[in-house]
Amino acid sequence: MKMNKMLKKIAVVAVSAALLTGCGATGEKAQEKIEVGISQIVEYSALDENREGFVKALEDAGYVDGENIEIDIQNAQGDIATAQTIAQSFASQKKDMIFAIATPSAQGAYNATKEIPIMISSVTDPVAAGLVNSMENPGTNVSGTSDYIPVSKQIELIKTFAPDAKRIGVLYNTSEVNSQVQLDQLKEEAKGYEIVEVGVTSTNEVNQAISSMLGKIDVLYAPTDQLVVSAMPIIVEKTMAKKIPVIAAEKGSVELGALATQGINYYKLGYETGKMAVKVLKGEEISSMPVRTASETDIIVNEDTLKALGLEKPQIENVVYVNGE
């Protein structure tokens, strides 16, 4: 899996450092750098933080962009075909490592190469996405971190903020495997609720889809779905007009106007992935490196939305308020 090439580059980096700190050695210095390609599906706060945490972990381990490592950041701007093209480009350039942020980018990278080590993050279910054989023992050239949060934690918030709710609406991208996984989990765990689901394939369909749900639901659940998140301002506008709270699966949606989530810190998740990447760069076998999940969660509430819905602050601990005074 390109490990010999990578280890040779690491050796060159070490020799370069020794030359630079040696007794005034002259002549041409070794300039070969480790090349890392970062593929991000869309520009979005949570994913941006994920990327920043990854890069910081590399820096803290001595891998500094422009010095001994070259980081190539590419953004697909929400287009899956573009994510595939980015991955193919990284593979043809023979990058030493790919960091793929979110499921479409991760799948694109894995489709493009089975040799280059691929670190992933913000992928809810790497197994269902076909990236690894299991979380404990990937068995492929892929490992990293998952942003999986049990749907039960969001159901707890629904009970807190909408105790009389009987019907939970779910808007999701039909081509996003993670969204289907979350929907299936919601159906399994939301005992006593009626689940009203509407699938969409593009942001152009969101307005009509959410409008069709409004008279049929008491609360809306928004999964970690890039299409849904990108359309959150429209969703919030429509649901707020009907006083329907939106419980989201991640912080970014709350910052865009959803009411609340019990979510993770994406910067920390990226940093953890970066620490794993350092181990791979130093020779650890990626195929046997377990995929990790976040161990800490925060309850995040949009205070402006809370007030607009006429709701009281919840009597629960460790709540972080955003978008409020």
Please report where in the chains the tokens 């590399």 appear, as a residue: 58
Q: How do residues 286-313 score in pLDDT, each as one tens digit?
A: 999 999 998 778 899 999 999 999 999 9
Q: How do residues 138-175 score in pLDDT, each as one tens digit?
A: 999 999 999 988 899 999 999 999 999 999 999 999 98
Q: Are 121 and 101 in contact (CB under 8 A)?
A: yes
**Quick check: 122 pLDDT over 70?**
yes
**Quick check: 45 pLDDT over 90?**
no
HEC assignment per residue over 228-289: HHHCHHHHHHHHHHCCCCEEECCHHHHHCCCCEEEECCHHHHHHHHHHHHHHHHCCCCHHHC
pLDDT value of residue 20: 40
What six digits make up the tokens of 204? Answer: 């152009």
CA–CA distances in Å: residue 188 to residues 31, 155, 195: 55, 12, 10
CA distance 138 to 8: 25
Q: How do residues 66-117 score in pLDDT, each as one tens digit?
A: 999 999 999 999 899 999 999 999 999 999 999 999 999 999 999 999 999 9
* Cα–Cα nearest to 34, from 102, 111, 98: 98
**Backbone phi, then psi, for 321, in 5-degree steps?**
-100, 135
**Quick check: 256 pLDDT over 60?**
yes
Give the confidence band of 186 by pLDDT, cuts at 50, 70, 90: very high
**Helices 45-60, 266-281: inter-axial angle, 10-degree rounding:** 40
CATH 3.40.50.2300 location in the chain:
3-147+265-293, 151-263+298-322
**Quick check: 2 pLDDT over 60?**
no
Give the confidence band of 10 by pLDDT, cuts at 50, 70, 90: low
Radius of gyration of the chain (CA): 22
pLDDT value of residue 17: 43
* CB-facing half-sphere around the CA of 233: CA atoms within 13 A: 1
Quote the percentage of the chain above a pLDDT of 90.
Answer: 75
pLDDT value of residue 177: 85
* Cα–Cα nearest to 36, from 97, 91, 93: 97
Fold of 151-263+298-322: Rossmann fold (3.40.50)
Question: What CATH code would you report for 3-147+265-293?
Answer: 3.40.50.2300
Q: Are 287 and 140 in contact (CB under 8 A)?
A: yes
**Backbone phi, then psi, for 150, in 5-degree steps?**
-55, 130
For residues 305-322, give the mean pLDDT: 90
222 has which bridge partners?
Answer: 248
What six digits make up the tokens of 153? Answer: 């934690």
**Quick check: 3 pLDDT over 70?**
no
Q: Are 126 and 132 in contact (CB under 8 A)?
A: yes
pLDDT value of residue 298: 86
3-state secondary structure of 183: helix
pLDDT value of residue 8: 54
8 vs 137, residue with greater confidence? 137
**Quick check: 21 pLDDT over 50?**
no
The pTM score is: 0.78
